[in-house]
Copies of this chain bind each other. A is one copy, B any other.
Amino acid sequence: MSSKIMKLAIIGAGRIAAVHAAAAAADPRIQLKYVADIRREAADALADAHGAVYAKTDAIFADDDVDAVLIASSTATHADFLEQCARSGKALLCEKPIALDLARTRAAIDVLKQHPVTCALGFNRRHDPQFSALKQAVVDGRIGQLETLTIISRDPAPPPIDYIKGSGGLFFDMMIHDFDIARWLFDEPIATVSAFGSVMIDPAIGEAGDIDTAMVVLTTASGRLCHIQNSRRTAFGYDQRIEAFGSEGMLQAVNETETRLRHTGEAGQLDEPPQYFFLERYRVAYGRELGDLYDAWSTGSAPKATQEDGYEALRLAEAATRSLMESRMVSMDEIG
C-alpha cells in the first residue's frame, strides 16, 4: 500500500499546533515540512522536534510543494490565512472559528467559493472516537428515529474576565461547540432557539455582560427537540456528555477519565474524575483531525466539518444571544 504523501505546513506553534505536529509525525502518510509562527523560537523548536523547518507564511503559500496548511494561529488571523490558502490552492484545516462575526465569516466563505479547495474546520468534537461512534450508531439506525438530544457541556473553570469581555459571550465562545454537535447529529436545520441563563458562579461575569450558566432548547422543522446545558465551572473537571434518544433506544456518550482504575474504600466505589479540560479530553480528536484532512485531500471527499458548519454554528449563537436578551423564542429565519 503506497499512499500518496501529503506535505503539510503548520501556521502556529502553540499547544494545539504541537498536538497536530506530533500527529503528523506519527502518520506515515503525512510529511510535516514547515512550521510558521510570529514567535520564531517556538516555530524552530516545534519544527526541530519533528524533522521540519521554519518558514514564513508567505513562503509557505508560495511553495508549490506544500499540499496543505493547518491554521492554528490566533483567531484574528484565521480568515486571512484561510483566504490565502484558497487563493494559493492549498487544502486547509482551520481551527475554529473562522471569525467571531457572521459578516467576516461569510466573506471568507465567498473567497472559498471562488477558489475552491478542501477546507476542513476544526470542530474537534466531531472527531472524538466516542462522539463519532454515537453519530455512526444514529446513522445506522441503532436507536430508530432520533427524537431528542440532551447535551451537557461544562467547563472546569471560567476563563479570565478579560477573556470573557472579548469572547462574544457564552453562546459564541462555549456553546458554539454544542450547537455544532446538535446540527451534526440531527442532520436537519434548526427552526427555533430558546435560551435561558443566569450568573451563579461569579458576579464579575455578570458585570461583564455575560452569563455563566445556560440552558437552551432547540427545535427542528420536523419537531425534534434538543436541550443544551452549559456551566462555566465544574467541581470535577470537564463534563462532556451527549444523550440521543430515539424510537428504539438511547445512546449515551459519557465522560472520559485518565484511566478506568477503580478504588473501593469506606466511602464507596470511586471512579476517576473526568479528564480536566479540552486538551486532555479531546487529545485523540485533535490527533484525528489531520487524518480527516488527509482523507478529504486525497479522495476529494468532504471533511467532517466545513466552513458552512462554522457559519451555521455562529448563526445559532447569534440566535441564542438574541433569545436570552429578549426573553423569547427566536426563529432561525430572523438570523441573516
Binding site for B on A (CB under 8 A): 22-23, 25-28, 48-51, 129-130, 133-134, 137, 142-145, 147-148, 150, 152, 154, 194, 196, 198-201, 213-215, 217, 219, 223-225, 227, 229, 231, 233-236, 239, 243, 245-254, 256-273, 327-329
State the Cβ distance, A40 to closest chain B Cβ, in Å. 16
Q: Are A248 and B265 in touch, CB under 8 angstroms? A: yes
Instruction: State whether A224 and B249 are in contact (beta carbons under 8 Å apart), knowing that A261-B134, A268-B271, A273-B266 are contacts in the complex.
Output: no
Do B215 and A196 have beta carbons less than 8 Å apart? no
A223, B198: Cβ atoms closer than 8 Å: yes
**Quick one: which of A48, A223, A239 has the most chain B CB within 10 A?**
A223
Query: Can you list 26 pairs linking A and B with CB atoms under 8 Å apart?
Result: A22-B26, A25-B25, A26-B26, A51-B51, A129-B258, A129-B259, A133-B258, A133-B259, A142-B263, A142-B265, A147-B231, A148-B213, A148-B231, A150-B227, A154-B245, A194-B194, A194-B196, A201-B247, A217-B217, A251-B263, A254-B260, A254-B261, A257-B268, A268-B273, A271-B271, A327-B329
Going nearest first, the 3 A-B pairs with the smallest beta carbon separation are A28-B49, A198-B223, A249-B265
Q: Contact between A251 and B261 (Cβ–Cβ < 8 Å)? A: yes
Most buried by B among A28, A144, A145: A28
Chain B residues whose CB sits within 8 angstroms of the CB of A23 once the complex forms: 26
* Bound CA span A125–B247, Å: 26
Q: Which B residues lie within 8 Å of A227 (CB)?
A: 150, 215, 227, 229
Contact of A328 among B50, B134, B260, B329 (CB under 8 A): B329
Say which residue of B147, B215, B233, B262 sits within 8 Å of A252 (CB atoms): B262
In whole angstroms, what is the CA distance A266 to B248 when docked?
Answer: 8
* A249 contacts across to B, CB distance below 8 A: 235-236, 263-266
Which residues on the B side are within 8 Å of A272 (C-beta)? Answer: 268-269
Q: Is the CB of A130 within 8 A of B235?
A: no
Which residue, of A142, A143, A235, A271, has the highest number of chain B Cβ atoms within 10 A? A235
Complex Cα–Cα for A253 and B259 (A)? 9
A235 x B265 contact (CB < 8 A): yes
Residues of chain B lying within 8 A (CB to CB) of residue A223: 198-200, 213
User: Given A236-B250, A329-B328, do A260 and B217 touch, yes or no (CB 8 Å)?
Assistant: no
Q: Kindly provide the distance from the CB of A213 to the nearest chain B CB, expressed in whole angstroms.
A: 6
Task: Knowing A196-B217, A235-B266, say if A229 contacts B148 (CB, 8 Å).
Answer: yes
Check if B233 sits within 8 Å of A247, measured CB to CB.
Answer: yes
A132 nearest CB across to chain B (Å) = 8
Task: Tell me whether B245 and A263 are in contact (CB under 8 A).
Answer: no
List the B side residues contacting A266 at CB < 8 Å: 235-236, 248-249, 273
